[in-house]
Each structure stands twice: as C-alpha cells, then as structure tokens.
Structure 1
Amino acid sequence: MESLYIKDFLNFNFLSNIELSNNNLLFIKSHQNYENNNYISDAFIYNTQKNKTYKLTSVKDASLVSWLNDDTVIFKSSLRDEELKSKKDEEFIDYSLFYSININGGEAESLFNIELEVIDLYAIDEDNFLIKAVYDIEREKKRKEDNYLEWAKEEIDYEVFDEIPFWINNIGVTNKKRDRLYHYNKKENKLTAITDEYSNVHSFKYKDHKVLCIINSFTDKSLTTSELRLYYIKDINNKDVNKKKEEKIIIDSNKYAIYFADFIIDNDNKEKIITVMTDMQKYGLNENGSFYLIDESNNINLLYHYDNGIGNMIGTDCSFGGGKDIRVYKDKIYFVGTENENAHIKYLDLNGNIKNITNKQGAVNYFDISNDDNIYFIGFRDLKLEEIYCINNGLENQLTYFNEDILKDKKLSIPEKISFKTNNDFEIDGWVLNPIDYDENKKYPAILDIHGGPKTAYGEIFFNEMQVWANMGYFVFFCNPRGSEGKGNAFADIRGIYGTIDYEDIMKFTDIVIEKYSNIDKSRLGVTGGSYGGFMVNWIIGHTDRFKCAASQRSISNWIDDFGTTDIGYYFNPDELGGDVWNSFEKLWEESPLKYANNAKTPTLFIHSEEDYRCYQSQAFQMFTALKYYGVEARVCLFKGENHELSRSGKPKHRLRRLKEITYWFEKYLKLT
C-alpha cells in the first residue's frame, strides 16, 4: 500500500449532470489538467442494458449537456468559429454555441448560436428551446444606439454600481444583470423574451405549453423572498409567440423563499404545483423549506413539514459540477435530504408519506429515475471517490469505476465516530482519523478541521485534505457543532449567538478527543477551517492559546465590514447576527473575531481569494494586520482569479498551492525538529 500525497488529487475524476433517456445514462466526467491549469469536461454515456460506458464528446469543455431526443445529445462548448470569435471581441457580444451529437456514432455538429451568455437550456422539441441567459440591462439598451461600440470600448475600464448586490461570488459583477428566460425557435432563428428585464429567473419547468418560474424581481435591492409565476405559451411554433404569452402570478414576492417548484398529477388526476418553500418566520433565512401543494385556485396547502436540508450538504473537497437533486416522477417527489452525517435519496407521496430510497452511509449528489423505476445516482460510498450507482428493487450496485484504481492502493484512515450531548440534550457527532501506520508507543500532532456554512455537515465520506494529513502522521478530528445541517432547524439555529454555543461544542469535542486518544500530543494542536470554519478559526485564536498554529481560510473577521462589501452581508448579517451597523453596531462588533485579535498568540496563515465576494479579502487582511501589529507571526496567501470556491473548483495549480501552504504551515509548527 502507498501513502496518499498532496498531489494525488490531481488524478481524481469528478462526475455530474446525470440524465436518463430510455436505456442510456448521460453524464459529464471532468478531471484536472495541471499543465493547462484547467478542467477537462466531456459527455459520457452508460448503456444500462449492455452495462457499458463510453465517451461521447471530445471537446474538453462540454457544459449544459442534455438530451435533444432519444438518440441525440445537445451541449454547449467554447467558440471554435474564428469569425464568431472575432465578432465577439470587436463588437462586445457574448455568444453561446451549441452542438449536437448522435449517441450511435458520428462527430459533433454545430446546431445554433445565441448572442447571449446561456446558463441553462431545455429542449421542448428539436426546433424549440427554453433558454436562461444573462441579460445586461444597460448594455442591451446601448446596443440599440448608433454609438454602442464607442460606449462599449470606453466602459471596459469602468464598473458602475447602483444596486445591491453588485457582485455575486463565482459569477462576478452582476449589477443591472439578470438571468432572463427566453424562447428560441431554431427554424425561425427567433429569440423571444418570456420574462421581463428586471426579473431574475432562479429555475423553470416546462409542461404542455406552460412554463413555471421561480423569480426574484427587483430594482435597487434584491430581496430574500421570491415569487412563483406561470407563463402560458399557447403555440410555440407560431411566429407571434410573444402575443400568445399570458402570465399568472401563483405566489407573490412578499412572503416565501421558494427553492423548488414543478407540476405534479394528484390522486384525482388533477394537475397541481408542488413546491419547497419557507416563510422564514421561525428560524430566519436559514430555515429549511417544507413541501406544499398549490391547486388551480392558488390555494397553498402544507403537504409535509421537512425539518432538514434538501440537497447534499455533507462536505467534501472532491466534487465538481452540478446536477439535479430533486425531481417529480409520476405521483411522487424524489429528493436528496441531509440527515445527520448522510445525504439520502427519499420520496414523498401526495398523502404525506415519506420513505428513504438509500440507506447506506455516505452521500448522494445527483440522480435520475428510469421508466422501470430504477434509480441512478452519483454519490460517495465508503471512502471512495464519486461513482455512479443503481438502486434496483432495493439493492444498490456500483456501475462505474472511474476512480477505483486511484485510491485502491492508497493508505486511508477509517473515521472513528465520537458523540456527546450538550446541556440541552442535542447530540454532537464527530470523527477522528488516526495517523496512517499508527504506533501506540508514539505521540502525534493533531489537526482540528472545522466545516463551512455553518449550515453544512461532515460525514464519513472521503475528504482528501484530511486523508493527506493522516498519511503525514497527524491525528485529524472534526465534528458537527450546533449550527450544522442534518439535525433539524432548532439544532441549526445559532442566530445572534455565533461564537458561543458552537465554540463551546467544538472545544468540548476537542477535550473529549484529547482525553480518549492519549497518543495525541496536546502541545502540538493545529486548527483550520474555511468560510464559517474560517470565522471560527479567527474566533478561536482570540479566545484560547491551546492551538500551536492555525490556518484560516476564506474567513470572516469583522461583521461590520462584511455588511457592505459582500454579496450577502446586507441581508445575512441582520438575520444571522441580529442587526445592522446602525442599530446593532456593538452587537456586530461583539461577535466579530477582530475585536479579540489583540489577545491572539497563535501563528496564523490566512488563505483568501482576490475575487471572493462571499467573504471579501478585506476580512483576511484586517485579521492579518491585527496579528502583525501585536507581534504575532502571520502570513497571507492571496489567490488571484479565484473566489470562495477555491478548495472545491479552483484552478488545479491554485488548489495544489493552497493545500501545500496549509500543510507546510502545520509541518513548520507541529512537527518535532
């Protein structure tokens, strides 16, 4: 058996976007290209009858992959047409080029191009498509004027902000930009807007000439609530599509945060709308959504109160890409739900009965359902990387082995679970990884790893950085303190008390681990975490000296500064911290790690990204400056061109450098010389 090294993650394969058509399972496989510092993504097919997998495309950057018909796949790829490239550069026009390819053989062919940045696509038929694309309000107005090119060339050097949020992490500047929904008729080469220019379309569903949209419409300030609109497109092949469009507001924008909506046929064969949404009245912005049915008269009825998060919230640094984690199939809704340390597929019927489809330890990312009721999913099992699995008559089988050879000869540490109860009987779950080649006669350093969120969770799935450190001779321990996902809304609710009960849980867990694992050298403890975990690292070093070094990643240090610089600060802080800078200045300062930085003695590394608009770079610099000011050793590594997702989807060279920086920091302070 071989050790797992820092660089080994460059060999990992990532699976996403799983979609079925008859006996063929379409998905994307991605891997990192270190030399070119990018990701290679292509479409693959798994034939469920032949149990055979084959590569469908060789474009290396396939995205928005979906079925056009049972034999044809459509996908978006980068511009390869030199004329279009030149036009894009000279005329400041975004293009999205779509291709089609027959799954039975042949080369990819150009299908159509759209003069917009397309971010989602649904094929109604071979000539008609619903397209969600970025609409730049100011630019599109200027394009109608004669001096557009002169204006566009001048504007390259400027960004103008007049609304909030003015940027969004992993997207960039969003001021006066909206995700707008269009109908595109390929035969007519006609693009028709369905939604208005100020409406941001979160998601949409199509059925029988009806389009159901979750929308956030705003000027000046985006709201945390959303609305549900239904558009009737009577004849998609009619040239006057826009004149045939009707609009109906199902839910207005005053009350609910809506996360999902789709059509469903009830037990009386009537069509209804099923939604996942919350009014946020009891637990605020982080309140988990419940399931509701809406009838044709817009009556909203609770179907099932679901207390946990929908989607896979189990943390890992080994997933890339997207997909569907909730679907309506026949008369049921299937979804991934996070409970405790697992993410399972469940179904809910229209009588309010809920049942687990998967029960094994691990996490499901995305799934689809075949006509014979088999379920295919991308997930993590045991300590394996992502693979595709099938559930047939309750039995789960692994179908792909893309990552099997990568880890089969590597030494891995099996997580050992530790649980304890808080003073109000909440159970805190945590785990310990023993050092590889553990010798009971030796003392070892240990690393505490704290997850982000805070409304995410750790589980017993493969987490690369932790396994690397275990291979390097560290104990690694991690837990799900109060504030985490998986144990209900009440457990996750730490509004207004950040750094109190969550800090107590983490410190108590640390005490229990040290007591139980006597081979841990408690004088050689390190701590790291990102996002909320970075906030907690900053908090810890200002409240205890028990850690010999720390690595704070994409962190928060000053809630006052965070309010006006980040994409969520203006609504997250009043809700989660309990006020804004005018009415609750002292409270925000009390809950800011920067206030206590003058107490810090712990050498700390700060990892941050230049384009992190979720936790802006000023957060790291303020904490770094405070430590330097008070004579504490500190270091900042700032990654250009990266955002809040550095550890999960950053450029390969940057991801490698990040892990090296953290690891070398621990080696410097925790290993005996």
Structure 2
Amino acid sequence: MSRVSVDDIFKIKTVSSPAVVPGTGRVTYLVTRTDEDKDTYYSYLHNYDGRGNLQLTYKNETISNVTHSHDGTMTLFTAPDDDKKTQVFIMRHAGGEREQLTHEENGVFGAQFAHDDQSVFYHVSNDKNPDDKKEKEDKDKKPEATVITRMKYKSDGGPGPYGLLNEKFTAVKSIAIKPDEAETVLSGEENFTLYDVFADGLIYATDKSDNPDFNFAQQLYMRVNGEDKLIRDDAGFMKAEMSPDGRYILMTVMTRQFKNATHPHIEIYDVRSGESIDVTTKLDKPVGGLVAQDTQQNAAGNTAEWISDSEYVFLVSEFGSVNLYKGDVEGNIRPLLRSEHNIFGMTADAEAAYLTISTHVSPSELYKFDFGTEELTQLTEHNHNYVADTELVKPETIEFRSFDDTTVHGWFMKPAGFEAGKNYPMVTNIHGGPHALYANTFFHEMQLLASKGYAVLFINPRGSHSYSQEFVDAVRGDYGNGDYKDIMAAVDHITEKYDWIDTDNLGVTGGSYGGFMTNWIVGHTNRFKAAVTQRSISNWISFRGVSDIGYYFTDWQILAGLDNLDKLWHHSPLKYAANVETPLLILHGEEDIRCPIEQAEQLFIELKSRGKETEFVRFPESSHELSRSGKPSLKMQRLNHITRWFEQYLT
C-alpha cells in the first residue's frame, strides 16, 4: 500500500453534480479527472439506471450545467464548442449525436428546459456598448486605456487582464429546440438571473439598483402570463423553485443581517397568500455546504429540491458535516441522513435522493438514499482502487474549551505509519473564508502532510460555518483575537493530550484568511518553528483598495474603513513584522485579485529588509483558486514548496 503523494491528483476522481432523469428511475452524474499531459481537468457524463453505471460522453472537455427534460427524453448540458465558447448542447436519449443548440458570440451559462420541453432558456452576458467593442475589434491590435466608472470593475479569475471586467449585463434568452432564432426574454442595464421555469411563467431576479457598487441584494419576481409580481427585494437567493402544483416557491435566502457571515436559510412562499414562512433559522445552522476542500472539481451546488407538491429535501452544514434534511410547506423539518460526511451534490425525486458524498478517507462517490427504507446505498466505485491502494489516515474528532469557555470543534490526524514511542512534528492547517469550514471530507493536502510524517491539526475556530449564527459572526471586527486564541488553545489541547508530539517542531500554514492568520500567528508567537502563508492578507489598509471585494469586505469584516486607520492597521499582520522570528514561506498567485499579490510583496520586502528568514514564491497564471482549480502542474509545485519548507525546518 502506497503513501499519499503530490501526484495523487492524477489518480483522484471527482464524482459530482447528480441529476435525476424524470420518470425513468435513472440519474446522471459527472466524473472529473485531472489530465497531466494537457495540464487541465476533463469531465465526462455518466448514467446510473438501477442496474449499473454507463459512461455517456468520452470527449475530453469540461461539461457542466447538466439538466434533463421534464419528459425524460433529452439531456441538456453546456460545453465548449469548436471556438472554445461555452454553448448549449442537447442529447436525445433515443440515440444520435449531440446537437449544438446555441451559437452565442460570448458563450452561455445557466441553461434549463422550458416547462413544455419545446425550448431552452439560458443566460448570456451582453456588452453595455456592443458597437464600441466591435470598433475596437476592427482596429489594429494596439493597447488602449481602460476607463473605470464603477467600483465593481474586476473579479478574481476574471476574463480580462488583471481580472478587469468589461461592463456587461446578464440577460436571459430562449431558443426553440427545433433550430430557430433565439428570443431575448429578460435584458437591460442590470443583471438577470433565471431561477425556474414553470407552466405559466418564470421566477427570476434582478440586481437593478440606483447604487450598484453597494448593492448586495436582488429583487425576486414571479412572472405569470406576462405579469410580474415582486416577491422579495432585500436578500440574495441561492435557490428559488416552484412546487410541482404551482402553489409554493422553495427559496434558499441569504439576508445581510450579519453581512457575509449570515446563515443562508430556507423560506416557503405561498403564491396564493403572498406570505413566506422562515423554515430553518430555528436550526441555527446554515443551509447548504460551505466546505473548504481541494479535490472536489466541477461540483454543481444544490441546496434544496422538491420531492412532492408539499415536501422537499435540503442540505444543512452542522458540526463539520453536510447532512440531508426533509421539510414540508407547513414548516416542519427533520433530519434524514446524518453522519461524518460531506454531501456536496444532491438531486431527488419522489422515491429517493441521489447524493455525491465525500469522507476523510473517500474522495467522492454517488449514493442513493431511499425515502421509504431510509437506507443509504453506494452506487459507484470510481475511487475504489485509489482508496484500496493508498494508506489514508482517518482523523479523530476533537472538541475542547477555548479561552472563554467556548466549545471549539476540529480534527487531528496521526502521521501515516505512526509508531508508538517515536516523536513526531505537527502542522496546524487553517482554512480560509473566514466563513468557510473544515469538514468530514477528503482533503488531499492534509493526507499529504500526514504521509510526510507530520501530525496534522485542523479546526473550525470562531468565524467558521456549521455552528451557531453567534459563532460564525464572532470573528467580525475581532480578527486576530478570539480566532487566534481558539487556534492556540487547540494546539495546547492536542499537545497536552499526546506527549509524542514534538513541541519543538511545530509548523503552521493556511490560505486566504488562513494566510492572514498564519501571518498574524508568526507576528504574535514564536511557538512555531516554520510557517507557510498562502494567498494571504498582510495589510488591511491597502487591501481595501486593491482587492475586488476590498472596499466592502473591510467594512463588513474588520468593521473599519479609511476613516479608522488605527483599527485597520491594528488588525494588519504587517504591523507586527518586526516580531517575526519564525521562518516564513510566502506563496501567492500572480493573478490573484481576491487577495492581490501586493499583499505578499509588502510582507516579503518588510521581512527581508529586517533580516528575517523568508522566501517568496510567485505562481504565474494563478488566481485565488490555485489550490482548488488551478493548473495541475502549479498545484503540484505549490504542494512541493509547502512540504519542502517544512522538511527544511521541522526535524
């Protein structure tokens, strides 16, 4: 049996995005693999029919947005065309080749069948001034200055250089399945999102606002027979779906009561009365999954699904797991499937839910949960050989009391091949967000560290999801205080429990918010012998103006703007650079717009100028998503640099 290695990314497959084929007892799903030669990812459509699994597509491409016609005779998906523009394709279950339905110049996204299956609705991005764009394209290729008029002008992973976004607006179009001219259904100088199509109309949202730079809500509408009715205008929506009988709308809603720390929740809207009931806030847990992970590629999220006219199933993050619940239109809810797992894909019909599930020692497989028997059955074994042939470490769950008696939850992994009587170094790994969560899910990076002979500690400090609203909100305005103390309390707890942990050889690492916390830790304690900070934040003052989210994120999270420089600087790790004695490796993507590379540059120069032990590694062609969906070759280099640094300093 082999140890986990960096190049295991080419062995691990992602089973994701299940979708029931109505009225057939079949379910489709995607299997995504990492291709070493082409340095990219490919996904393939598969089908399970109750007897076995069948691969449906073989072309090396990235398929997404898989959905099926209401009569179960056709499958729709989006994939690149010959010009590498994402278009809508149709596959007929009776046989034959796929048919390309759209030929949009800028590609499409978010497609679904009309209720009668005779046409398809889809989203496009329209340039605000298409004539100007055409003129530029007709000119010689000379550089032109970009005029910026809005604060939302760039995005991490954005299409333009430096993540710059041309001013575009999302419109909704429809096209008949028999080749026809596409018809624009919703458009304007605003972004439309189509959530559902039902017998008499549409459910859609728009972000129209007099102040778009500071608008973080949508207006949700129901269009019936051409007339629009406003349902809600003070929240964001992750899901809005009409019940089969047209009586209720199932909504996954996120208000801004606690800014981006607010729990998403389920509401049921009664079409007749116009009233909504809040179903899940009483759980005091967030709906959906917000899990930090590094191997679950091309996963389509689905928070909730109708299974009858009055009942639905939905996902809840709780205590480090993502579980399956059932609810009804009266507001009753109960858990259906709870375990130490991460359900990151869900679809359902009246008889069963089909779930893609990951655990600490299983990257992902497809399962069926039967509503009648309430039994869970595994349907696929795409990662069977990898799991069987690899020495994976199952972590133990830990809970401890932090400095203020708050209960904190997490996990601890012994080194692979652990031998009693030997001492081992330990690495503490900190997640990003901060409003994400570590979970009962497969994490290649953790397994790799364990395979290299390190104990691995990873917890959900205050600010993490899957616990109470109070817990997730507790970090805002308090970065580097309670969260830092939670992490140090975890180190105390586990080193007191296990005397074989070599407390003279402790490492720490983390990315994004976890990178901020790594920077903060080395500026406030010399307890760690080596540290690796990734895509981090070091200076909240400059972050405010350079990040694509900075101008509101600092207000929401640090609770300060440039009128309170003292607070921004107090929470900036750069302020404490003189205190750093821990050798620090700085990793950053050159195209990271979320936490721009200038954050790393400032930290490196300040540490280097003070004679500190540090190195700076810059990754080309890499956004904030490097560790999750970055180029496979660069993902491997990143892991090699992390393990190199720890091997150099942790004996």
TM-score normalized with structure 2 length: 0.92
Using the TM superposition, give the Cα deviation of residue 476 of structure 1 relative to its aligned residue in structure 2, in angstroms. Answer: 0.9
Select which of 477, 487, 495 maps to 2:476. Answer: 495
> Hey, which bits of structure 1, 4+ residues long, moved more than 6 A?
none
1:475-528: per-residue Cα shift (whole Å, max 9, x none)?
111111111111111011111101100000100111111121211111111100
Whole-angstrom CA distance in 1 between matches of 2:535 and 2:575? 18
d(CA) in 2 for partners of 1:290, 1:136:
34
The answer to whether the aligner puts 1:208 opposite 2:209 as a matched pair is no
From 296, 308, 312, the equivalent of 1:319 is 296
- Of the three residues 544, 548, 554, the one matched with 1:563 is 544
- Which amino acid in the other structure matches residue 79 of structure 1? D
1:91 is matched with none
**Mapping of residues 259-278 of structure 1, within 5 Å:** 259-264=238-243, 271-278=247-254
Look up the SS of the partner of 2:62 in the other structure. coil
Using the alignment, how far apart are the partners of 2:103 and 2:306 within structure 1? Answer: 31
- Using the aligned pairs only, state the percent identity: 29
**For residues 357-386 of structure 1, what are the alpha-carbon distances to aligned partners after superposition, in whole Å with 9 as ceiling and x for unaligned?**
212211100111134x21111011351111
The residue type equivalent to 2:357 in the other structure is G
1:384: which partner in 2?
362
Aligned AA for 2:627? S
Paired with 1:110 and 1:247, the residues of 2 have a C-alpha distance of 32
Give CA-to-partner distance per residue, 1:387-443, whole Å, 9 cap, x none: 000112211111100001012121122212221123554311122111122222222
Match of 2:518 in 1: 537
Distance 2:62 2:265 in 1: 37
Letter of the 1:226 counterpart:
Q
2:540–2:572 CA contact under 8 A, matched in 1: yes
Distance in 1 (CA, whole Å) between partners of 2:92 and 2:278 is: 44
- 2:265 corresponds to 1:290: yes
CA distance in 1, matches of 2:87, 2:265: 38
Query: Which range moves more in the overlay, 163-172 or 295-304?
Result: 295-304
SS at match of 1:627: helix
Q: Letter of the aligned partner of 1:150 in structure 2?
A: D
Matched, 1:100 2:87: no
CA distance in structure 1 between the aligned counterparts of 2:337 and 2:142, rounded to whole angstroms: 53
Partner AA of 2:488 in structure 1: M
| Deviation digits for residues 439-491 of structure 1 (CA, Å, limit 9, x no counterpart) | 22222111010111111222333211111111111111111111111111101
Contact 2:519–2:533 (CA under 8 A) maintained in structure 1: yes
**1:521/1:397 Cα in 2 relative to 1: closer, same or farther (>3 Å)?**
same
Within the candidate set 309, 321, 325, 2:286 is matched to 309
2:150 is equivalent to residue 150 of structure 1: no
Give the superposition deviation at 1:59: 4.4
Q: Which amino acid aligns with 1:505?
A: D
- Decide whether the 8 Å contact of 1:413 with 1:467 is kept in 2: yes
Counterpart check, 1:364 vs 2:356: no
Aligned to 1:223: 215
What corresponds to 1:58 in structure 2?
59
Q: Show structure 1 runs of 5+ residues with no match.
A: 86-93, 235-244
Compared CA separation, residues 531 and 548, structure 1 to 2 (3 A): same
1:279–1:359 distance in 2 versus 1, CA, 3 Å: closer
How big is the shift at 1:45? 1.1
The answer (yes or no) to whether the contact 1:56–1:103 under 8 Å persists in 2 is no
Contact 1:426/1:491, CA 8 A, preserved across alignment: no
Return the TM-score normalized by structure 1. 0.89
Which deviations, in whole Å up to 9, do the C-alpha atoms of 1:79-128 show, x marking residues without a partner?
32xxxx4xxxxxxxx95443333345443343342233201101115541
What's the secondary structure of 1:612's corresponding residue? Answer: coil
Matches within 5 A, 1:430-469: 430-469=410-449
Secondary structure of the residue aligned to 1:666 is helix
**Partner SS for 2:196:** strand
Q: Distance in 2 between matches of 1:575 and 1:609?
A: 25
Amino acid at match of 2:9: F
Query: Secondary structure of 1:217's match?
Result: coil
Partner of 2:207: helix, strand, or coil? strand
The answer (yes or no) to whether the contact 1:37–1:652 under 8 Å persists in 2 is yes
Corresponding position of 1:237 = none
Post-superposition offset of 1:11: 1.2
* TM superposition shift of 1:38: 0.9
Tell me, in whole angstroms, the C-alpha distance in 1 between the residues paired with 2:124 and 2:142: 22
Q: In the comparison of the two structures, how many residue pairs are matched?
A: 635
- Counterpart for residue 76 of structure 1: 78
Residues 28 and 43 in structure 1, CA contact (< 8 A), matched pair in contact too: yes
- The answer as to 2:8 corresponding to 1:8 is yes
Q: In the superposition, relative to structure 1, how do residues 632 and 386 fare at CA in structure 2: closer, same or farther (>3 Å)?
A: same
Match of 1:115 among 89, 101, 105: 105
Q: Which amino acid aligns with 1:41?
A: S
Residue 385 of structure 1 aligns to a residue in which SS?
Answer: strand
Tell me the distance in 1 between the aligned counterparts of 2:397 and 2:113. 47
Determine helix, strand or coil for the equivalent of 2:339.
Answer: coil
Is the contact made by 2:157 and 2:623 (CA closer than 8 Å) also made in structure 1?
yes
Whether 1:527 aligns to 2:515 is no
CA distance in 2, matches of 1:141, 1:528: 49
SS in 2 for 1:644: coil
The one-letter code matched in structure 2 to 1:108 is R
Aligned counterparts of 1:308 and 1:557: Cα–Cα separation in 2: 31
- Structure 2: 5+ residue stretches without partners: none
CA deviation digits over 1:231-268, x for unaligned, max 9? 34x4xxxxxxxxxx44333223xx33333322237xxx
Aligned Cα RMSD in Å?
2.3
Q: What amino acid is the match of 1:560?
A: I
Question: What is the alpha-carbon distance in structure 2 between the residues aligned to residue 156 and residue 260 of structure 1?
Answer: 42
Given that residues 96 and 115 in structure 1 are in contact (C-alpha distance below 8 angstroms), is that contact kept between their aligned partners in structure 2?
no
Is 1:26 matched with 2:32? no
Alpha-carbon distance in structure 2 between the residues aligned to 1:111 and 1:182: 12
2:152 to 150, 165, 181: 165
Preserved CA contact (<8 Å) 1:59 1:77 = no
In the other structure, the counterpart of 1:588 is: 568
- Aligned twin of 2:235: 256
Measure, in 1, the Cα distance between the counterparts of 2:649 and 2:459. Answer: 23
- 2:268 is paired with a residue of what secondary structure? strand
1:605 pairs, out of 565, 575, 585, with: 585
Q: Tell me if the contact between 2:28 and 2:47 (Cα under 8 Å) persists in the aligned partners.
A: yes
Aligned to 1:133: 124
Q: Secondary structure at the match of 1:309?
A: coil
Whole-angstrom distance in 2 between the partners of 1:313 and 1:516:
30
